[in-house]
Amino acid sequence: MNTYRYIAGKIRGGSGVEAGRDRTGSVSSVIGLVSVSVSIFVIIVAVCVLLGFRREIRTKTSAYMGTLALVAPGQTPLNEQYPFSGNISFLGKIDSLQGVTACQRVAYCSGLIKTADNIYGAHFKGVDSLYNFSFFKENLSGGEIPSFAGRISSDVLMAGRLAHQMGCETGDEITVYFIGEEVKVRKFTICGLFDAQLENLDNTMILCDIRQVQRIGGWDKDEVSTVEIMASDKSDLDYLQTRISDMVFEESTDDDPPLFVTSVKRMFPNLYDWLNLLDFNVIAILILMIVVAGFNMISSLLIILFRNISSIGLLKAMGMTSKGVSRVFRNVALNIVGKGLIIGTAAAVVLCAVQKHFKILTLDPENYFVKYVPIDFNIWYILLADAVALVAIMLILSLTSRFVAKVSPDKTMRAA
């Protein structure tokens, strides 16, 4: 049996020289255990919430504009002036990349919706029958998803809040004016309503048949504003952007239009700046909780050391070095910290699991873009948080070795 662990076990079990005088040592151990448990609980919950916000924001923004997008040089995905051919020779290779889930051809035009009382500006996003409507199905609040297969459709899908502002509902007809070299007027029927909680886009984005947009703009049947590249939530966005940019440079032929790749981070810089601010907050919480837990553990361990001062003197008198005695009490501390990590992690995982499935804690979507506190589990981030907390706390506890080194065997034995 390991000698250091054996002695540490005796001290934890109250068999030290000072055992039986009072329960101060046990109380200090409980305080240290609770401190570590609460700290790691807060850290893991904060990490899971941050990952949840990242997933939700990326999912919502990607559903609107694509995770990545192929656009004309100097243009945004909302480009109406410089359409290009969507028949790109290497698009199939992009679609086959790991992490890419779909490549979707999209066309945009701007229009003015006239009601009896007001005029509303909106971007009409033209999509085809192959477009992935899964996000909008999940957030459908009324009506149904339009079908753009077969004949050119006049159905549109819009945000419920925009329809509410206009005083419209599903089945209503709207009149839209498209202003270019000449004014073109079109009538559309509201087929479905969705609620995605992204106010700026909800109020301006309407999905329609891509052939309507191409006709309004006088474009050819294969011309588009952008090609949206959808990627899985777990994919590395920066790596994919670099890989696709290289592919555009290396695989383009003379028949392909000049293109460059932009990402959802560039399309929605304000949202991703907000997420970066959340990252900073989580790092601040991580540091604060580790410092609090570390110094509470120092207090607890010092109390244990004081209560076992004679044991320290006896061990030194029997020939154990200060380093060896420090190792004994590090084992005591490691046991407390280890239990705290397990309890805190278990409690955090249970709470996060309950929130993930039952969505008990709600938020104001106008401020947070979601209706509830989002949760996303990543076992590697949880294990990393535990490992960082363990190493940091044990490093802080190494300060107690100075106390052990100053203990004199003859004085402690005489005092005992």
pTM: 0.81
Q: What string of DSSP letters covers 326-388?
A: HHHHHHHHHHHHHHHHHHHHHHHHHHHHHHHHH--SB--HHHHSSSB------HHHHHHHHHH
The SS3 call for residue 70 is strand
pLDDT of residue 16: 44
Residue 389 parent element (H or E): helix 379-397
Q: What is the mean pLDDT of each run of 10 residues along the chain (416 residues)?
A: 62 49 62 88 92 89 91 91 94 93 95 89 94 92 92 94 90 92 92 84 88 95 95 89 94 92 90 84 86 81 71 66 71 84 95 93 84 91 91 80 59 50
Contact 275, 3 (CB under 8 A): no
Place of tokens 């008198």: 317
pLDDT of residue 21: 44
The SS3 call for residue 192 is strand
Backbone phi, psi, residue 189, to 5°: -110, 130
pLDDT of residue 117: 82
What digits encode the pLDDT tens for the residues 2-35? Answer: 665 666 666 655 544 444 444 555 777 788 888 8
% helix / strand / coil in the chain, to the nearest 5? 55, 20, 30
405 token code pair: 């080194």
313 token code pair: 């003197």
Which amino acid, one-letter code, is at 49? Answer: V
Strand 173-179 vs strand 100-114: parallel, antiparallel, or unpaired? Answer: antiparallel
Place of tokens 């990590």: 341
CA distances from 48 to 41, 190, 278, 338, 379 (A): 11, 38, 12, 21, 10
pLDDT of residue 20: 44
Cα distance between residue 111 and residue 345, in whole Å: 52
pLDDT of residue 18: 45
Give strand ranges (E) for 65-202: 68-71, 84-85, 100-114, 119-127, 140-143, 155-159, 173-179, 183-194
DSSP H helices in 66-192 = 91-95, 134-138, 160-166
| 321-329 long-range Cβ contacts below 8 angstroms, 24+ apart | 322/401, 322/404, 322/405, 322/407, 323/401, 324/4, 325/404, 325/407, 326/400, 326/401, 326/404, 326/405, 327/4, 328/4, 328/7, 328/8, 328/11, 329/8, 329/11, 329/301, 329/304, 329/305, 329/400, 329/404
pLDDT of residue 411: 53
CA distances from 282 to 113, 193, 229, 277 (A): 43, 36, 30, 9
DSSP H helices in 221-268 = 237-251, 264-267
The SS3 call for residue 25 is helix
Strand 155-159 vs strand 183-194: parallel, antiparallel, or unpaired? Answer: parallel
What distance, in Å, lies between the first and last C-alpha atoms of the chain? 29
